[in-house]
Amino acid sequence: MIQRIQTLYLLTVVILSGITLFSVQAGFVGNADAAQYILNYKGIFQVQTTGMDFLKNVWSLTTLNVLITAIALVTIFLYKKRLLQIRLSIINSVLLAGYYGLLFIYLWQTGNTLDAEWYLEMVTAFPLVNIILTFLVIRAIGKDEALIKSLNRLR
């Protein structure tokens, strides 16, 4: 299981998704009053000297990130079912693309509501890396499946 390269790719997807889940993903700076806002897994908060004030839920974004992490983790342990692994990896790629779409919808709506400019943190690039790694997983599993089929023809 661990000796296969796709397992290492999937483990990296799980780690990067976990980091993305618990990090600040984006921020906002108000145009009029220069107020600071952050977006993390708990929601959108206004940062003040006395603490943080809650503004908006982002549960759908958090749920999507947890689902991506869970699917990648489950896919690691389905190493005997290669076709199912490929299907789950394709679903994970679609969910990762949906994560970006949903993130930018939240950024656009919140930026307009708060009259603020948004900026991205470094961890926002992790889902893009996960999409690339998931594509590599699909290719590696496909190669394994082709190898198994060729060995069955020789018997």
pLDDT tens per residue across all 155 residues of the chain: 556 889 999 999 999 999 999 999 999 998 888 889 999 989 999 888 888 888 889 999 999 999 999 999 999 999 889 899 999 999 999 999 999 999 999 999 998 988 899 999 999 999 999 999 999 999 999 998 888 888 877 65
Q: What stretch of H or E contains 154?
A: helix 126-154
Residue pair 121/8 in contact by the 8 Å Cβ criterion: no
Residue pair 141/89 in contact by the 8 Å Cβ criterion: yes
CB atoms within 10 A of CB 25: 23
List 120's β-bridge partners, or say none.
26
Listed in sequence order, the DSSP H helices in 22-125 are: 59-76, 82-114
CATH architecture of the domain with residue range 5-148: Up-down Bundle (1.20)
CA-to-CA distance for 46 and 36, rounded, in angstroms?
6
pLDDT for the residue 50: 86
- The domain locations on the chain are 5-148
* Total-model pTM: 0.88
pLDDT for the residue 150: 85
